[in-house]
Every structure is written in C-alpha cells, then in structure tokens.
Amino acid sequence: MKQHHVVFLPSGSTCLAEDGSDILAAARLADEPIETICGGKMTCGKCRVNVREGYFDDYGFMSASTHLTPMTEAEKQYGDEHAFCPDDRLACQAKIQGDVVIFVPEESRVGRFIPLKNIRAKNVKINAAVKRYFIDLPLSIEKGGERCDILTSELESRFGLKNLSIDKYVYEIFRKTFKESSRKATLTVWDDREIINFESGRHKEAYGLAVDVGTTSIACYLCDLNSGKILATKSALNPQIKYGEDVITRIAYAQDHPGGQKDMETAVISCINRLTDDATRQNGVSSRDVSEAVLVGNTVMHHIFLGLDILPLGRVPFKPAVKHPVNIKARDIGLNILPSANTHVLPVEAGYVGADNVGVLIAEEPYKQDETSLVIDIGTNGEIALGNRHRILSASCATGPAFEGANIKFGMRAAPGAIDRLRIDKQTLDVRFTVIGHSQWHTDLSPKDVKARGICGSGIIDAAAEMLQTGIIKKNGSFDKTLNTSRLRINTGGKAEFVIARAEETAIGKEITITQEDIRALQLAKAALYSGAKILIKKLKIDKPDRIILAGAFGTIIDIKRARAIGMFPDCGQDKILAVGNAAGEGACMALLSREKRKEAEQIARDVEYIELTSEPDFQKVFIDATHFPQIKGKFLY
C-alpha cells in the first residue's frame, strides 16, 4: 500500500500514513492529540486543521491541499456554516493522497491534562485479599520430590489454610530462587485459596493497586496493604480519547474499525502500566511487588479492559456481557504487576451504570443510612443513585459530554487555558473570568497573560447562571436580543451570542462566545440529570432527598450555588450538598483493602434497582419541564 509523509505543526510530530487514510488516523499514528469529540460524525467541528502549501526544506517534500481528497458537499456546508478559512479541513473527513504538512490550531489540540487530586484515605478495617505468611521450610524439602506440596501442607498445618491451589508462577519462581541454605520463606496467598508468590527470606511489605478507569481520565492509587495508606496517586488522560470523546463514539469506533476495540484495550493497559511504573518507582519498589489490583470503571471501560465485546452495549437492551465481579490474572490482560496477581473488577449494575457507580456506593454507603441520599456522579454521562438502608434506585442520565465542554462552540475540557469561573456585572454586563492556570480574575492580569483557549463545564454553568441573573437569557433559555451591550450580537445565522472573552484576551486569536446553541446544549444536559433524579425521587415516594453527594472531579470544581440556580439537580439546601471528589477511586481502594467491602459491592450491585428512564411514562414531560431554568415551575435561587 502506498504511503505518504504527514507532518503536524507546531509539534513537528510525523508519520507515514497509508494512502486514503484520514488525517485523524494519521494523527493517531503520529501520537498527535487532535480533539475528536463527535468521533467523525461532523457535528462538533473540533477537529478543524489547516493544510500548509509549498515546499518544505526541512521535510524535503511539497505539501498542497490537493494532496487531500476534495471536500464533500457535507464538509463544504459545515465549513460555510462555521466560517472556515479556505485551507481549513476537518481532520475526520479529509483523506490523505500525497505528502502533507498539517497545522493543528490551538483550539483543536487536546488540552493538557490536570492531574487528579489525592483522594481521602477513608477508614476501613483492613482485611486485604492478599496476605503474607512467613514459614521455615522443613529439612525434608532438601530431598526434592514434591517440593511445592510442602508449601501447601506447611500453610495448612501452621495457619489452617486448607485446599490451597498454587499458581504456575510459584513453581517457576520456587525452582529458580529456592536455596537449600536458606529455609526462611515468605508466601503470598490470595483470598485464602491460592499461593501466588514465593520469596526467600522474610518480606512484610505488601502492595496493591486501585484503578479507576474513567472515560476521560485514568487514576491509579498505590496502596500499602498492611497500613491502608495510599502511597502514590498517578493519573493521566485516558488515551482512548483519540478514538472518541465519550463511550458512544468509542463503541462506534469499535464498530467501524476492525481491531478498533483491541487498540483501545491496548491503549488503556499501557496507560495503567505507565502509571503503575511511576507510582512504584516513586516509592522505591518494583511493579512486580504489587500483588493485587482492583479496578472500577463504567460498563464500557470495564468491558474494554476485560476484552469483552462492547458492541452490545450500544444497542437495546444495552446488556452487559457480565455483571458479577471478575477476577483475572494480571498476565492474562498484560498488566505489568506480579504476573500471578489477580485483578479484581467490581461488579456492574447495568449497561450504563457500571463498576464505578458501585465504587461510589461502597465509599459513600447510602445503603447503611436512614436519611436518603442522592448520589450524582457526573462524568461523560451522569450516573445517579437515590436511596437509604431500605431501598436504592439507580439510573443513567444521558447528559452527553456538554459538562465536559463538548457540543459547546468554544467548549473544552478543564485544562490550562479553560475559563472555569465567570461573573457578569448586573449594570454594565461586563465579564470577569478566571482561566485554569491563574487564580486571579482576568481583569487583574494583563490581556496578553490571560490566554483563554475556551470554556470548560464549570465555566459554562457559571455563564448560564450569570446570564440568567442579569437577564441576558430568559427562563426558557432564549436570549433577550433587545439588550443594549456590545457583547451581545447576532451571528450570520441570525442567532444571538454573548462575548465572554475579547480576541486580545484569548490564545486562539478570536473572541470566545456563548451561543444560543451552547445554552440549548446545556439545557439538554442539565434536564437529563434533573429529570433522572426527579423520576427516582417519585419512584421512592419522597419529596426531596435529605442530602446530595456530588462524586467525581467535576463535582469539586463546579460552583454549587450556580449549579442550583440553573436547576442542575433537585434542591435540598446548599448546606446539604457535598462534593466528595473521586468516590469511585475511593471505593476501589476500599475494595482493595477489605474483603468485606468486596462482599458489600457484590451485594449492593445485586440489590440496586436499575431504572430505565426512557421507559418511564412521564419521563418526556419531566424532561421537557426541566429544560427551563431552573425548571418550568422552579424558583431561581440566587
């Protein structure tokens, strides 16, 4: 197959792309991070790139727009509607048929990842599945013969551990490392049923890894299995982002590309291995010293990790291949820890309520309390649970990725350069905002230092709340076009937009605005969350929850007052709303440290009643009412 040179600027990354492959595929090959929020459906426009023309001495070839396939009618129309420049192309549409140099503008680059914060080390009675036993090997072992059987009989006679099996790795390592001169040994036993390691001498330390695979980020926590201490937290952007922003586009990618799911599996495992390596090195231990891992993730991430087909998760009835917990050997999935170690994957509840929600539940334990909690985990989809010690309901809300900045004209993930907080002056309608990377309001910085690249989810929520409060938008989300301010204008399509950042304050060389379509996207996202919670409240026959727990990193960065004001969730009073950070990761750590917690996880995954919201007769009405700010009958709380 013919190949062509592709160079991406300004990074300079290169690859040899197959004739006919699209620019996005070449970018994946070159490890060039280009936004691809809609996964090539031509609805997001975030993959816009620019073809450079001319002879490039440094690369030794001629680049031209004719080295790409001509624009289709659909791409042309998209470009006209979104004011593209003549050499602009959508990376997901343009196919390579010659050598090209492609410039990736600032707004099309995947934002730099902000490491996740440490999680709370919650109190849990330590009873890890992995235990270490010290034995003195008997003299009879010198005579050879059934040497490994001596290990099991020693553990049975001295510690009462019966019917132990032995992982094949132990035979291998025992043969290699046993010295007749040294009779002291440490055996690692998993779940009182299997010997997974043999080491000469006494070794007390035991390490485990808790992993939370989110659609956007991956977090690994290295834990001391004796003390329960979290020794290191490492996180990274989920490398699957290059295959699609959300789980739906990743399922579509797997469907459209043979071997696509395997590529995503390889990407996630390599990322976990890299984070594990960083965490263990930081603590002066080897990744082989990690003798168990516990993993949580939404159902699609769970299936990709386990190599289970994700296509059925994309069609009715969205049935997971497996719901119960899974134990799988590290070596069988390519995890670089002790090869014989098990990876325990928490159970899932349904196609769109996964092991991450189970992790949140065992961390927050609403099922042990009298008061009723509404637990909301806002990721690229919203998983919610409502209940108390008597009954727990759960649901998945199709919020879409708007809270992560997708489907928003200048939306971006929470990364350096994103506008994350915003205020509008009631009299002048002037805007103040902060940008991730600076703690001061932008008005306290010189314009050249502001360098806003876009607006992230918390900034969008702030913008909507402030625009409502100042009358720029009405309760139904439409703009008041009669306002007299230079920040409000009507774009070429006749739609209103409000200027948040002036061109000189941005790193993208143009104004950052909030458009009517952005407000509509936010209305749909918040209505999905609100109506899901409302349906569960009705099912549980209560008026409102006693408290709301916001799980996930997003919950910690949003302004709760403004989220309440736009009606993101049913209200129960500001002081009853608690942001708890990465509770799914905490749940994974707890399940790593406590076998009782694993049993709880299994039990709660069975007990939770999953409600399919779209099958509820009044869902449509509740949803439509909830598209208003804060809802059709709700009071604006400010």
Q: Which residues bind ligand FES (CB under 6 A)?
A: 36-38, 40, 42, 44-47, 90, 92
Q: In this structure, what are the phi and psi dihedrals at residue 186, rounded to the nearest 5 degrees?
A: -120, 130
**Minimum distance of ligand FES from residue 253's CB (angstroms):** 11
Cα(129)–Cα(593) distance, integer angstroms: 7
**Minimum distance of ligand FES from residue 39's CB (angstroms):** 6
Place of tokens 């939370």: 212
* E strand or H helix at 14: strand 14-18
Cα(141)–Cα(617) distance, integer angstroms: 71
Joined together, the tokens standing for residue 353 give 């309520």
Q: Which is nearer to ligand FES, 92 or 301 (CB)?
A: 92
Q: Which is nearer to ligand FES, 36 or 470 (CB)?
A: 36
Task: Pinpoint the alpha helices (H) of 351-395.
Answer: 355-364
**Minimum distance of ligand FES from residue 72's CB (angstroms):** 12
Cα(183)–Cα(201) distance, integer angstroms: 8
Please, what sign has the CA dihedral across residues 42, 43, 47, 49?
Answer: positive
**Minimum distance of ligand FES from residue 89's CB (angstroms):** 10
**Number of DSSP helices (H) and strands (E) in the chain, helices first:** 17, 29
Would you say 9 and 30 are in contact if contact means Cβ atoms under 8 Å apart? no
Cα(536)–Cα(495) distance, integer angstroms: 36
Q: Which is nearer to ligand FES, 92 or 422 (CB)?
A: 92
Cα(616)–Cα(393) distance, integer angstroms: 14
Q: Which is nearer to ligand FES, 253 or 623 (CB)?
A: 253
Q: Which is nearer to ligand FES, 47 or 51 (CB)?
A: 47
**Minimum distance of ligand FES from residue 65's CB (angstroms):** 18
Q: Which is nearer to ligand FES, 42 or 542 (CB)?
A: 42
Place of tokens 């049993």: 599
DSSP-derived letter for residue 71 is P
Cα–Cα–Cα angle for 300, 302, 305, nearest 5°? 110
Q: Which is nearer to ligand FES, 455 or 626 (CB)?
A: 455
**Minimum distance of ligand FES from residue 49's CB (angstroms):** 10
**Minimum distance of ligand FES from residue 252's CB (angstroms):** 11
Quick one: the chain helix, strand, coil %, rounded to 5? 35, 25, 40
Q: Which is nearer to ligand FES, 46 or 302 (CB)?
A: 46
**265 CB-contact burial (10 Å; exposed 0-12 / middle 13-18 / buried 19+):** buried
**Minimum distance of ligand FES from residue 367's CB (angstroms):** 41
What's CA 85's distance to the chain center, in Å? 33
Cα(417)–Cα(107) distance, integer angstroms: 10
Q: In what order do the strands lie in the sheet with 184-190?
A: 130-136, 184-190, 194-200, 165-166
Task: Pinpoint the alpha helices (H) of 122-259.
Answer: 147-159, 168-177, 247-256
Q: Half-sphere exposure of residue 332, counting CA atoms within 13 Å on the CB side? A: 14
Would you say 407 and 387 are in contact if contact means Cβ atoms under 8 Å apart? no
Q: Which is nearer to ligand FES, 36 or 434 (CB)?
A: 36
Cα(487)–Cα(513) distance, integer angstroms: 9
**35 CB-contact burial (10 Å; exposed 0-12 / middle 13-18 / buried 19+):** buried
Would you say 24 and 36 are in contact if contact means Cβ atoms under 8 Å apart? yes
**Minimum distance of ligand FES from residue 40's CB (angstroms):** 5
Q: Which is nearer to ligand FES, 45 or 545 (CB)?
A: 45
**Minimum distance of ligand FES from residue 380's CB (angstroms):** 15
The residue whose Cβ lies closest to ligand FES is 92
Q: Which is nearer to ligand FES, 34 or 415 (CB)?
A: 34
**Minimum distance of ligand FES from residue 81's CB (angstroms):** 12
Query: Which residues, in sequence order, are CB contacts of 94 under 8 Å at separation 6+?
Result: 22, 23, 49, 51, 68, 69, 71, 75
**Minimum distance of ligand FES from residue 276's CB (angstroms):** 31
Q: Which is nearer to ligand FES, 228 or 244 (CB)?
A: 244
Cα(426)–Cα(422) distance, integer angstroms: 13
Q: Which is nearer to ligand FES, 239 or 587 (CB)?
A: 239
**Minimum distance of ligand FES from residue 43's CB (angstroms):** 6
